[in-house]
Amino acid sequence: MRLYHLPSGSVVEKENEFFKLVGDPAWDELVNRDDLHAFLKNEDIHGARVDAEEVFSECLAPIGTQEVWASGVTYFSSRLARMEESKDAGGGDFYSRVYGAERPELFFKTTPGRVVGPGKSFRIRRDSTWDVPEPELTLFATTSGKIVGYSVGNDVSSRSIEGENPLYLPQAKTFDDCACLGPCLYIPEHPLEASTEIRMSVERGQNEVFSGSTTLSEMKREPEELIGYLYRELSFPVGVFLMTGTGIVPSPDFTLQVDDWVKITIDGIGELANQVAIKCD
């Protein structure tokens, strides 16, 4: 099942049909339940039917007041890219160490107000010269730490700032409109298969200037392992979103440009499409 967050309320998609939820529950309370799949399956809460077109044209990022966290260097391709971009700053060793370490790299990505939903523009920094989208499976875990949903995330990043010094990571990662999330929260009965594919393309005008793909089998860490570390000394009263790291890294000569469209698809979840903007004064 898929759950969409619309300005007019929440909509559940079941077998290609879309239903408003009875009683219009608040998003935070709706999603933060360990039995979310069973709850949404119950037809007693399925209200009026909604057109698919209305859902896709209006849906917002599937987030309420949750924090968004992220994981780093969870794919071999990301380890290589980080080592390359930081070699002049002497940072390469950190990335190879964290890839092999027991403890994963986890960092705070952003607050919900800096997250953009489907079809909306995200930002790249004016003081950055090398910018990339990072297509990432994004977990939603409840207060108890149970992973009940998945979404498509874009951990937009400045490689020039991160590459200059690993201590600049928060500036490379967190700024206005620095994350994209959507189009829905996917709530399967069972965890995602390792064969689940993540695909990304970047379109510039009429041209596709990048395309790439990976599968979850390439990820070095298990989703439960990442959530386990995140919850060690942190509590999340309304649950949390956790991006799981990128396994698709464009070649070093690629940088995002204003007006590029980034399209990310994850099997079962759907497509998240966003355009690049820059901050205007």
Query: Residue 121 burial by CB count (10 A; 0-12/13-18/19+): exposed, middle or buried?
Result: middle
Q: Which residues neighbour 166 within 8 Å (Cβ) at sequence distance 6 or greater? A: 86, 89, 91, 94
Which lies closer to Mg ion via its Cβ, residue 134 or residue 164?
134
Which lies closer to ligand DO4 via its Cβ, residue 143 or residue 215?
215
Residue 60 binds which of Mg ion, ligand DO4, none (CB < 5-8 A, kind-dependent): none
**Region 115-154 residues binding ligand DO4, contact defined as CB under 6 A:** 134
- List the one residue from 72, 91, 183, 250 that touches ligand DO4 (CB under 6 A): 72
Please report whether residue 159 would count as binding ligand DO4 according to CB under 6 A. Answer: no
Determine the interface stretch with ligand DO4 among 72-80, 111-119, 211-219, 259-267 (rule: CB under 6 A): 72-80
Q: Which residue is nearest to ligand DO4 (CB)?
A: 72
Query: Measured between alpha carbons, how far is 262 from 142 in angstroms, rounded to an integer?
Result: 29
Task: Write down the least CB distance from residue 33 to ligand DO4, Å.
Answer: 29
Which lies closer to ligand DO4 via its Cβ, residue 20 or residue 109?
109
81-113 residues labelled b (16+ CB within 10 A) or e (exposed):
bbbebbeeeebbebbeebbeeeebbbeebbeee
Task: Write down the least CB distance from residue 73 to ligand DO4, Å.
Answer: 5
Which lies closer to ligand DO4 via its Cβ, residue 10 or residue 78?
78
Which spans of this chain sit near Mg ion (rule: CB under 5 A)?
134, 155, 246
- Count, residues near ligand DO4 per rule CB under 6 A: 11
Query: Residue 10 burial by CB count (10 A; 0-12/13-18/19+): exposed, middle or buried?
Result: buried
Please report whether residue 85 would count as binding ligand DO4 according to CB under 6 A. Answer: no
Q: At what angle do helices 92-100 and 76-85 cross, to 10 degrees?
A: 160
x/- site string to ligand DO4, residues 230 to 249, per CB under 6 A? ---------------xx---
Please report whether residue 110 would count as binding ligand DO4 according to CB under 6 A. Answer: no
Which lies closer to ligand DO4 via its Cβ, residue 143 or residue 160?
160
Q: Which two tokens stand for residue 192?
A: 């995602």
Q: Among all chains, which residue has been given the structure tokens 């020039």?
A: 160
User: Residue 29 to residues 10, 40, 115: CA-CA distances in angstroms?
Assistant: 12, 13, 19
Which lies closer to ligand DO4 via its Cβ, residue 155 or residue 164?
155
